Chain A
Amino acid sequence: DGGITQSPKYLFRKEGQNVTLSCEQNLNHDAMYWYRQDPGQGLRLIYYSQIVNDFQKGDIAEGYSVSREKKESFPLTVTSAQKNPTAFYLCASSWAGLPGQPQHFGDGTRLSIL
């Protein structure tokens, strides 16, 4: 089955702790994205990557970090500097360089603070 896999589905973080959310895709897509969704709101872009070993900040990158060492993987680390990390995190991927190609999403990770 081709698709985007996010894990874990639920994650709990203690104060001062860094946590890493996994995102893997087997669609051979070039670009990958991380979004955050708060209750009753639309998605906001955290980071995105168009190619391996390169990524750009989105609108709300502060307190987050990413890496893109492999084409199929784009993990997101929520650092202790992110003061309000409780949210629904969504990973997406798409073909890059071709106009109009849609982004496809995983099923998300819900992060909560203990």
Chain B
Amino acid sequence: DAKTTQPTSMDCAEGRAANLPCNHSTISGNEYVYWYRQIHSQGPQYIIHGLKNNETNEMASLIITEDRKSSTLILPHATLRDTAVYYCIVRLRSYNTDKLIFGTGTRLQVFP
């Protein structure tokens, strides 16, 4: 019951910007969008999150469309160590639940 849609895989040249899209057309007004990445056999690593405004931190930038139905994660200068599966997630919170709804993510391959 994932609420997000991402491409299965993407390639990016080392040193170039990696732009990872995500659709979340059913997102509610108070739901945040989170991005995590997972390298094989490790736990997911938190990257960034946002509600309405664009966000930037030391790892990445998050661009959220005005209607909030889609977003893009930007890795400004991809390195080989950025090769991972990237998950775009909407957090479902109600009176009796609090969970991150994971889809299958985008496998990003950074090549030399």
Contacts and interface: CB of A to CB of B under 8 A. Distances in A.
A105 B44 contact: yes
Contacts, number: 55
Interface residues of B, number: 24
Interface stretch (A38-46, A67-75, A79-87): A38-46
A88 B42 CA distance: 9
B103 A42 contact: yes
28 contacts: A31-B98, A33-B98, A33-B99, A40-B104, A41-B104, A42-B2, A42-B102, A42-B103, A43-B100, A43-B102, A44-B102, A45-B99, A45-B100, A48-B98, A48-B99, A56-B96, A58-B97, A88-B41, A92-B43, A99-B32, A100-B51, A102-B49, A103-B100, A104-B46, A105-B36, A105-B45, A108-B42, A110-B41
Contacts of A106: 43
A9 to B, nearest CB: 9
B80 to A, nearest CB: 21
Interface size class of A (residues with CB under 8 A): 20 to 34
Interface of A: 4, 6, 31, 33, 40-45, 48, 50, 56, 58-59, 88, 90, 92, 99-100, 102-108, 110
Given A42-B2, A42-B105, A50 B98 contact: yes
